């Protein structure tokens, strides 16, 4: 019994120390690690946040491996990355052996592109194997690919529900299983899960998307605990949970107009810069904006009816409805054109 009591007090001290260190990071910004020369795989790199992640890692001289189902848009991202490499491709100098200065040829990172449908397990495994032969081991995995069906539950075809779950959630299992074994062997790596605030708290009309993102967060947290339990301290995990981002994915989403100026959709560039800061400082989780932390905490302690009242006040209860209406209208227009 005395041992249990002693261990309990030790745990309390460790918890308090965790609060102190976390608070200190708000005051003293941690130093960002270098990713120069490290192999970084980004899924869904052909557009949106994936493209912006690629550009940010390129500026830090990482070796980029871009995955996307759309080969053309993926190549467009690769061309942007090559342009960034060219802009930073300047010689560096170091002290010579006899006190002089000699010019050192700069390290020249490369970018590789692969057409891969992460919604198909065989495509993930075959692409990963091909990539390992051509590029080498992966240091950083950015699980970014995502889709949304844009239908009310009872109007959504089963195939689209399955597609949402497979791409947003199941694909994380397959990409991680493809690259984690080598990370464990080397005790080195970083896995990033780009989820969503809709994986922390939900809203009406996007049941499949919310379920997939809740699943993604559950997967990420369980894997984080597994790595801690196996004492693989060289492998880091970062969970990215942004609020609505202006990538066009949820075009038309509206909350209450009086509240909207205080909670506008995030600029993609801002979202990725915040995520990059978290990744490069090995931060376990980043929510953007910070109010997402508060909303998630309140959801945990408030009665459900209180949450409903808050949603209605904010206009968050039906915020997806304009988006769903636009998607439905667009589909009807496409069906009409196909019928002509």
- Which residues participate in catalysis according to the annotation? 209
In sign, the C-alpha dihedral spanning 61, 66, 72, 73 is negative
- Rounded distance between C-alpha atoms, residue 83 and residue 43, angstroms: 20
Token pair for 162: 């399955």
Token pair for 202: 């939900």
How many degrees, rounded to 5, is the angle at CA 274 between CA 269 and CA 280? Answer: 120
Residue with tokens 């910070």: 290
Would you call 145 helix, strand, or coil by DSSP?
coil
Q: Please, what's the b/e burial string for 266-296 (b: 16 or more CB within 10 A of its CB; e: otherwise)? A: bebeebbebbbebbbbebebbbbbeebeebe
Q: What is the DSSP string of 212-249?
A: HHHHHHHHHHHHHHHHHHTT-TTEEEEEEEES-BSSST
């Amino acid at each position: 019994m005395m041992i249990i009591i002693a261990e309990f007090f030790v745990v309390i001290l460790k918890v308090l120390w965790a609060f102190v260190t976390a608070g200190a990071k708000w005051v003293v910004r941690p130093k960002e690690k270098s990713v120069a020369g490290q192999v970084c795989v980004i899924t869904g790199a052909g557009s949106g946040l994936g493209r912006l992640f690629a550009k940010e890692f390129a500026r830090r001289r990482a070796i980029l491996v871009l995955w996307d189902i759309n080969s053309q848009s993926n190549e467009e991202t690769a061309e942007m990355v090559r342009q960034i490499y060219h802009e930073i491709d300047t010689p560096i100098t170091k002290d010579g052996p006899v006190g002089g200065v000699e010019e050192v040829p700069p390290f020249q990172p490369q970018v590789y592109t692969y057409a891969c449908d992460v919604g198909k397990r065989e495509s993930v495994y075959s692409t990963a194997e091909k990539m390992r032969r051509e590029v080498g081991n992966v240091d950083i995995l950015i699980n970014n690919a995502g889709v949304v069906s844009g239908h009310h539950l009872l109007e959504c075809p089963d195939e689209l529900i399955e597609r949402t779950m497979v791409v947003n959630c199941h694909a994380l299992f397959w990409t991680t299983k493809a690259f984690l074994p080598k990370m464990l062997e080397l005790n080195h790596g970083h896995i990033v899960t780009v989820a969503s605030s809709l994986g922390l708290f939900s809203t009406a009309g996007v049941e499949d998307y919310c379920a997939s993102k809740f699943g993604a967060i559950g997967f990420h947290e369980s894997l984080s605990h597994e790595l801690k339990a196996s004492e693989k301290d060289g492998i880091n995990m970062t969970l990215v949970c942004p609020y609505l981002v202006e990538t066009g994915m949820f075009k038309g989403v509206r909350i209450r107009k009086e509240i909207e100026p205080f909670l506008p959709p995030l600029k993609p560039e801002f979202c990725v810069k915040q995520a990059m800061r978290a990744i490069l400082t090995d931060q376990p989780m980043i929510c953007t904006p910070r109010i997402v932390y508060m909303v998630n905490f309140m959801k945990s302690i408030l009665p459900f009816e209180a949450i409903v009242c808050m949603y209605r006040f904010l206009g968050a209860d039906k915020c997806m409805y304009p988006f769903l209406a636009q998607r439905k209208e667009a589909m009807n227009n496409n069906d009409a054109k196909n019928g002509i």
